[in-house]
Structure 1
Amino acid sequence: MRTHLGEKPFSCSICGKDFNQRQNLKAHMRTHTGEKPFSCSNCSTGFTQKQNLKTHMRIHTGEKPFICSVCGKDFRQRHYFKVHMRTHTGEKPFICSVCGKSFIERQQLKAHMRTHFDKKTYSCSSCNKTFRHLITLKVHIRTHTGEKTFSCLICSKDFTGRQYFKIHMRIHTREKPFSCSECGKRFVIKQTLKVHMRIHTGEKPFSCSECGKSFAINQSLKIHMRTHTGEKPFSCLICGKDFTLRPHFKSHMRTHTGKKPYSCTRCNKRFRHPNCLTVHMRRHPGEKVLSCSVCGERLSSKYQCKKHKCAGENKSSK
């Protein structure tokens, strides 16, 4: 009856959050105590709730019980399945109460709401950039002063903020605390995991205002916009040639510097571009530089790839 009446008699003594059942409060308290009583028998990862362990075990078993009826894509978690389905239905259930804009995920709405209500009251005197928190402004100021208060004892690299320093240290410790619930891939940064999840959900929240093409990450949209604006931000100081993409600019610079970073493992011949090395490798007898996308078998030419038939392809075509 409490769910109908809205009654929540169980309250957290630490943060004040209310719950309609005692067991929900008990589970919530673990977020404060750090207690993780449910442990994975395969990798020893701990969880605060039994259901989270059950979901995690699907990484080891390979079970994906939630299947999209439209495209056949399968998922380990119901949440990501539901988000994915919205890419087919066009449903955007999270609506901004201020401007009416709608979103596929609650997290997107929360980020959007900050544009209406979050005031950036702290301003940088050097570049006029504004910030919501004083501590963020203080860290930003260091980009102007050059002050780097956090230093790595292993490689001596310096950092302006504690958070950047903590993330850097994971390179040395090889710690990847953020794990994908669908494929098990692990990440150093939470934001990278968030972007990675869009591979599974098919979500592309960044849309081009010119042609409507959508992208999974904002940076891809920014690069795409250059096809409309004609912007070429990477300019060669030697010959004046301009480029849309940094990799193309870097590749071009090697024509001036003579640098050839790609080396043949058979004859030590060096090349400016990786594709030139790939073509060269085919000249060596028995060298197999291409691979089948289904079974992974190495092949020496595109012609062989076309002619190649494997058990995986035969199985999928039946």
Structure 2
Amino acid sequence: MRVVPVPLWLCAALVLVPSCAWEGQDGDESGRPPAAPVGVTAAAGSATSVHVMWNAVSSEEGVHRYEVYRGTTKIEAVPGSQHMVDVTRLRPSTPYVFTVRARDTEGRLGPPSREVRATTPAVSVADRSAPSRPGKLQGRAAGSRAVQLFWSASTDDRDVVSYDIYQGGIKIHSVGGNQTAAVVTGLRPGTRYAFTVRARDAADNLSSAGATVHLTTPGSDDGHDTAPTDFRATTRLDGDGAYYLDLAWVPPRADGVVTEYQVHLDGAAATSLVFGGTPPRGRTTYSFYLGHETGESHRVRIRARLPDGTWGGLSAERRVTTGAAAAP
């Protein structure tokens, strides 16, 4: 998922990266490290926070995580599926400089991005009034993988510092308080999305959400390419006399790391699992409790929540019966 303020999007500069290995890189020195992230921007989100964002980096081994630096100090590390971060606990009325670096799954650290600067605004201690909610949110598809959003400005007794953009109730990005438009990229063709916008002032007061705009990207996506593959399901009898369902699958290919899955049992969502820390990139396994009854049959499938916030396609369906021998 990638959101770009329109004015910056139209004039983003390219960063040229040498083809040789980056001098002083960490981790494995063999092979080629990831390139420097491009499209990096920074915008104050409040008097004590700055929102930093960047484009996804392609890497031969895959990007394991992104590292965000304030000056020369590493302050944040986020999974490879994430292309933005809110840097908090900053000082009001202070200029800051940020860079971003990518680290691949072999531990190689790429060169830093270009420097981006942001200055936090002053804070008013007595400010307890939230901005008015943004109005007249509109949007349109901009190709099969992007949309443009437009809204009318909020008002505040001080100043609106930023606008937070939400997709399906989840904050996906922020733009500056002087922006009333954004381009959201990294979407899926033929997919319906729901966007809302909220305004924030320097004291971190957040407005209520404006109206929701529903947009569908053109094209088709049957979900086949976004479904987990090589899906297997078996039952086993544990020592306590209870049956468990053992699942194994290969994560779908996605622009980033998949951290959440949903298991469907007999046609309905039965449980969700979220991987913390470093989610598995290769074959993944999971088990959950079924009960004590022998001879119960179940149909099971699984799907992944993709980096754009939507659910991918369901895997092939498997049938299992408690107490029965595993199918060859």
TM-score, structure 1 as length reference: 0.22
Which is richer in helix? 1
Which is richer in strand? 2
Question: Greater RCO between the two (CA within 8 Å, min separation 6)?
Answer: 2
TM-score, structure 2 as length reference: 0.22
